Every structure is written in C-alpha cells, then in structure tokens.
Structure 1
Amino acid sequence: MRGVRSFLLPLALLYMGVAPAQVTWRTDSLMNTWPVRQHMAELGSTAGRGVVRAVDTRNLYDDLKREAPSIPVFADSNVVLYADLYGEPLRDHFRVLLGVSEVYFLMIEKELVRQGLPADLKYLPMALSAMNSLAGSTNGRAGLWMLTYPVALRYGLQVTAAVDERHDDVKSTMAAGRYLMDLHARYKDWGLTIMAFTCGPANITRAQQRTGGATDYRTLYPHFTEEEQEVLPQLMAFIHLSAQAERLGLEPIAVLPWEPADTL
C-alpha cells in the first residue's frame, strides 16, 4: 500500500498542474547544502531505515488546532498531499528539516516570546525556506524567513553585493518579528498576517478582490502567485508531521548549522 501511495503522489501533483520539483525545491535546496550532503553520505544506507507508518489525516483539521493553538490553521486536499509526500516518499527530506529546525527553534522561540508573538510562528521558516539560511528564490527573497529586499532594508538589514544580512539567522529573525508585528497591527488577524508575510500585502489585496473580500486561508491562497501557493499547505503539513514525528517514525536527522560561506 505504501508503494502505491508513493507512486500516486507525483501523479497527483501532475494532475494539479504542478511539477513535483516545483513544490519541493525548498527541501531539495536544503538537501543539496554541503553539510547535509556530507552527513547523508556518512549515514549511507542507514538513513532511510526504520518503521514507516502511514500519515493519518482523517481528523487533520482538529489535529492541527491542537498542534498549533496560537495561530489559525486549515486543512484541505493539498495539506493532505504534502503530509503524505513528506511523511512517506520524501520522509528523509522531512527528517533532515526536522533536525535542522531543532537547532533553530530555541533561538526563534526566544525572539517570538520577546516580541510577544504567537509561539507557533516558529514553524513558518520550515515552509518558507526549509530552515535553510542560505535559501534564495527566483523572486528575490532570501534567508531563513525569505525576506524581500525592500522589507530587509525597512527593518534595518544590510543588503549589498558584499553582505546580505537576510542570511544572518539572528538578525533576520529579529527583523521578521518586527515585520510580523507591523503586519498584525495592520490586519488585526493572524491568518491574514501570516499570508501577507508569506506573499506580500499586494497579493492579499488582489486575492481579496477576486474572492469578494475573503479573509481565510483556504479561499485566498489559491489566488497567490505560483511560487507562494504551496507555502501555506506545506506549513500546515509540516506542523502536523512535526507534532506526529515520533508516532510516524520520523526521527530527526541532526545536521549542524552550516557556515555562511557554504553554497548550494
């Protein structure tokens, strides 16, 4: 049964009009960083061993509400798809992501508490960059929080040809926290705040115009630009998999943080 599901998942992505690599590029980039490649090579064939249990998504929405009580959540067929994808065929991608996340969570949680932000926002970089401080996108976002150039400058980060502080984990997390606070002051709603952080306020405005002023994740995110559409369902899937990791046999693969000089 697991083999059948592993075979059907890429077909499901293609049916949605999405190439599998298009929705996994963040974790693919993480897996291609030198420290991860080196660590996985050392693990060799033992990396994928262990009990593999099917992801239970029958009560996914209720589960998510318990697993991330401080932020709005949702569940749809795309969330189920990504939970299955990273829970089984790409389980080692998620195990590495979980291992890297455990390194960063303490720093992120401390800053969220300092700024009075919801604790469950710590999961956001998992979906935005796969917790890869070296990450960069084709639309100019970069770093752990995938900040745009204008946002980085607005919140005091230095971005030049020689230095890009979006790749500085601590400074970018502080800037991201201030940006989230300002967005929440504008929208007065954590769902809209998370969406605006993910895709930009202009995307929110366009999506609301197309949906008659909707404010919920499920209605708005399909109207975002292509590169941001998968972030929210992946965020929900990653929250669920993180909470259920022990039961699913998703043991974190511990990889030490990389030096800034490392390249993809």
Structure 2
Amino acid sequence: MKYEIPVKKAGEFALPALGLGTWGMGGENFPDSRHDESDMAAIRKAIELGITHIDTAEMYARGHSEEVVGEAIEGIPRGKLFITSKVMAEHLRYDDVLSAAEGSLKRLKLDYLDLYLVHWPSDSIPLEETMRAMAKLKKDGFIRNIGVSNFHAELLKEAQEKCEYRIVNNQINYSLAARAYEEDGTLEYCEEHKILVTAYSPLKRIHQGRKILSKLGEKYQKPPMAVALNWVVNKPNIVALVKTSDPRHLEEDLGAIGWRLDAADERDLDENFPRGTTRE
C-alpha cells in the first residue's frame, strides 16, 4: 500500500508531513555496518510506502549513515526524492562548511541536496561566517535550500540577518513530551516568518502519557504512537521525521496521517500530557 502523505508549505518552501530520519542507521556515533542491508531495505520500504523526504547528517555514524542512504536510493529518479543533510557544529568555519557539503554529496552519490542544515549552533564560530558559506553553496547549486537545526528564535533571527537567502527550515526536538521550543516562542517565530519546522524524535518519552494516549487510541482505533504523532503533524507549520528499521512500525507511523484528533482531544493532550522543558 502506498500512502498519500500531505505536503505542508511555508512561503514557497514545502515538505511532506512525514519524512524518514536515519539516526542510528549505519551506526550511531561510530560506523557500524552490521545492519547496513536491513537499514537499506528499510529506506527502500519507506520510499515504496510513499515517503519521499529522507533526512541524514554527516555526524550520523561519522558519515556512514549518508553512505547507507546513498546506496539505498541509488537508481531512484532524483526528482522523486527530497534529501536533507546537515553540517556538524565542528565544521562551521567557511571552508569547512564547503568541504563538509562536498563530503556529504560524495557519500550520498548526489549532485545537490534539497535542504542543507546547520546541525547545531556553535559557541565559538561566528554565525556570519557559517551563513556566508551556506549562501555560497546555494549560489553554486550544491544545495537548493538553507536551514538550521536546534536554533531558538533569537538565533534564528540572527542567522537570517547574516544570510542573503531565506532560511526555510528549523529542525528541532519536539513532541508531546518535549515542548521547550513551543514555550520559548520559537514555534510562533517560525510560523510568523514562514520557516517550516521539522520535529525530530516526535515520539520521544511518550510512555509518560500512556494512559491518555491509550484512551484516545481506543477512541480512534489507532496505536498510541499514531495518536501522539498525529498531534505533532497536525500542528500548524510542523512536519515530522520518524525512524524505524521495522516495516511494521513504519506502517504504524504512517497511520498517523489521513485523519485528525478532535479539537477537544488535542486540548486534552496539550493540557494533560506530562511535558519536559529540555531542547535536547
């Protein structure tokens, strides 16, 4: 079965409501090729099911995650996929950003990235230097869109002031249990400035609200995780990344689209779910 995944827009930029994250594929902090075949099969299965946005990063398994993605998508028409990668905080000097992008493209076997993100802000490297390099990559056609990750509103504003192109995306840790970016005004800032938000780890720590999720799951005849994910993707201006190497879990995640919680049930989750304040 192929799912019709809705697309969300912020200005002229658009992303599918659900994409595939690849943290842990090919290893975590270090390369680990033991599960490469099953990871590649999971990526191909996700594409078969209708997922077109694949998210990775040079930091994941020290680049091996990108290699796994590159192998998995080889032979698929480029225009059918939206590929995101990220430059790590240690590579935010001007020349390092350019080299990092070149390395990511080589590992992914691609000529360009649809979206390139600054993975984490740096305390020591001037943001102007980083954003100048990101603009150079876009100008030269190596990336189509510029974004950031883990940036709060104040940093986002500074990044945009120092970049000649529009920042179109902010990828953040956001879920029912992680709401810091909601409470500090970052989500509001992104919506006002047409910066689409991508939620990573949208199911993190949802066990804390197992009781209310199970209750709503019975009402809508959906798994609790699909209820939690539905809450995220139906928020204005937010799309989400899911990650699993198990096709059954992937289909459960895709069960979060095509329907919507009642407004009263969304409010119940908003008000009663135990929420954390961390951004990580």
What is the TM-score with the length of structure 1 in the denominator?
A: 0.27
Higher strand share: 2
Greater helix percent: which structure?
Answer: 1
TM-score, reference length from structure 2? 0.26
Higher relative contact order (CA 8 A, sep 6+): 1
